[in-house]
Amino acid sequence: MSNGTLYDKVWDRHKVTTLPNGQDQLFVGLHLIHEVTSPQAFGMLKERGLEVARPDLTHATVDHIVPTANQDRPYADDAAERMMAELEENVRDAGIEFSDPTTGNQGIVHVIGPEQGITQPGKTIVCGDSHTSTHGAFGALAFGIGTSQIRDVLATQTIAMEKQKVRKIEVNGELGEGVEAKDIILEIIRRLGTEGGVGYVYEYAGEAIENLGMEGRMSICNMSIEGGARAGYVNPDETTYEWLEATDYFQENPEKFEELKPYWESIRSDEDAEYDDVVEIDASELDPVVTWGTTPGQGIGIDDPIPEPESLADDKVDTARRAQKHMRVEPGETMNGYEIDVAFLGSCTNARLPDLRRAARIVKGREVDDDVRAFVVPGSQRVQQAAKEEGLKDVFEAAGFEWRNAGCSMCLGMNEDQLEGDEACASSSNRNFVGRQGSKDGRTVLMNPRMVAAAAITGEVSDVRDLKEVNLA
Ligand SMILES: CC(C)[C@H](C(=O)O)[C@@H](O)C(=O)O
């Protein structure tokens, strides 16, 4: 195959047929499920007397409601216990592998798939979760689906979809000190808007993307949906293969690695592939980005002035006014110095081992500000364990951070981890919508994990470049 994008190639490879309504029916290589969006779908399946078609291509975890402090069963929260029990029953009945908390493999669905090596280049991957775009970091075609689509995939292992356009986002230049993958994606969303990607899949390319490790690529692909694109991907390369080779799946099946590698190579976008749109970004111009508003697109460099709503496009003026009122910020001010009450280091965007490592280098030998409650919620039990083994847990706890079990936690406040009243939170997560972190008056400022660490220490949104990093060794 040649002259195509990865998107075209993976799509064609998985296409079963074109349906009478014009949509394509695609075979699904991996269906990830979690406790929040799957119960209803299993219910619909049962009503029709249908069985799960490919339990072997389905994998479950529990992440959204799982308590991150006390995980003794039954969970203190009845609703959480019910959702967990239902998932347990569904996976048992269907024979689906379940990374539950007793396995040591549990964690946020978008952290564990890559960890276990079941997220692979050139696969179609779906999950009832908008951040499924994360898996695109491996060159997979991965997108979030709704409940009725989960039902369809459970029943048929296929999905009906319309083909999207492809926008190549080329990020060139070298990232400056203190600036990282999260800043790149916040900048992309700031420039193109939260709706800018509707109808598109994003291909992230360019030397700044190629220079990122898999975790950074995942942070970027993760937030594709915040820019309106249901999927985003990076072409697989040596960095990808190195990660894959070290995973359980390929350690146990080394012959599969050799067998699949030529396929992975073949689905890379060709040099002469045609794109529906191309956008270029210079990574070397970026400062750490923080949000001033209530959408991930309302971001600015740490020392840039918060915009006058009137200076924005017409359709953005009202939302900007409302956002500034909610956040209690004024145009012309910077976010540097904005007081915070909570620091949350977690989520499927930024709770992998290197994220925690970078934050720990800022935290080491310092103390969390007296007025801040700060916590670290590792993305998975494996991240938690590895971080503990290399001493990161001790670094965080010595500074006054709470160290938790794996889960989504305060990213969306579906468990007991929530903002109270009008607390402001420096958060490494992906959404700053009003009410997102559990309190309708809560205020979320999105930023990279090192910036969260800096905010925890100073008690206000700060430029991490002003704090000296400590060597962890
Ligand atoms: C619960 C789930 C449907 C939701 C999503 O799809 O994104 C959640 O993961 C989120 O981040 O808001």
**342-380 pLDDT per residue, tens:** 999 999 999 999 999 999 999 999 999 999 999 999 999
Is 348's C-beta closer than 6 angstroms to any atom of ligand 1?
Answer: no
Contact 172, 207 (CB under 8 A): yes
Question: Could you tell me the distance, in angstroms and rounded to a whole number, from the CA of residue 130 to the centre of ligand 1?
Answer: 6
Would you say the CB of residue 37 lies under 6 angstroms from ligand 1?
Answer: yes
130 CB under 6 A from ligand 1? yes
Pocket flag, ligand 1, residue 24 (CB < 6 Å): no
pLDDT at 1 over 60: no
The pLDDT value given to residue 2: 54
Instruction: Report CA(129)–ligand 1 centroid distance (Å).
Output: 5
Evaluate whether 6-266 and 289-466 have a shared fold. yes
Q: Hey, whose CA ends up nearest to atom 8 of ligand 1?
A: 129
Q: Is 36 in the pocket of ligand 1 (CB under 6 A)?
A: yes
User: Is 65 a pocket residue for ligand 1 (Cβ < 6 Å)?
Assistant: no
- How far is CA 195 from each of CA 107, 357, 406, rounded to the nearest angstrom? 29, 33, 31
| Residue 453: pLDDT band with limits 50, 70, 90 | very high
Q: Which fold has domain 289-466?
A: Aconitase; domain 3 (3.30.499)
Q: Which atom of ligand 1 is nearest to the CA of 430?
A: 11
> What would the pLDDT profile of 192-225 be if each residue is shown by its tens digit?
999 999 999 999 999 999 999 999 999 999 999 9
Q: Which CATH architecture is the domain 6-266 placed in? A: 2-Layer Sandwich (3.30)
Shortest-distance atom of ligand 1 to CA 144 = 6
pLDDT above 70 coverage of the chain, percent: 99
Q: Is the CB of 463 under 6 A from ligand 1?
A: no
The mean per-residue pLDDT over the stretch 27-50 comes to 97
Q: What is the pLDDT of residue 468?
A: 81
State which amino acid sits at residue 17.
T
Q: Which of 341, 319, 370, 330 minimizes the C-alpha distance to 442?
A: 341
| ipTM confidence | 0.96
Assess whether the C-beta atom of 64 lies below 6 angstroms from ligand 1. yes
Residue nearest ligand 1's atom 12 by CA: 412
How much distance in Å is there from the Cα of 390 to the middle of ligand 1? 31
Give the tens place of pLDDT for each residue, 151-163: 999 999 999 999 9
Q: Cis before residue 74, ω within 30 degrees of 0?
A: yes
Ligand 1 binding pocket mutation candidate from 65, 66, 412, 428 (most atoms within 8 A of CB)? 412
DSSP labels, 283-341:
GGG---EEE-SSSTT-EEETTSPPPPGGGS-GGGHHHHHHHHHHHT--TT--STT-B-S
Q: Which atom of ligand 1 is nearest to the CA of 37?
A: 3
Q: Ligand 1 atom 4: the closest Cα is on which residue?
A: 129
Ligand 1 atom with minimal separation from the 411 CA: 11
Tell me the CA–centroid distance for residue 450 and ligand 1, in Å: 24
What does each C-alpha distance from 231 to 221, 254, 448 come to in angstroms? 8, 29, 21
Q: Whose CA is nearest to atom 9 of ligand 1?
A: 129
Ordered by start, the domain boundaries in the chain are 6-266, 289-466
User: Cα-Cα-Cα-Cα dihedral of 374, 456, 289, 223, to 10°?
Assistant: -10
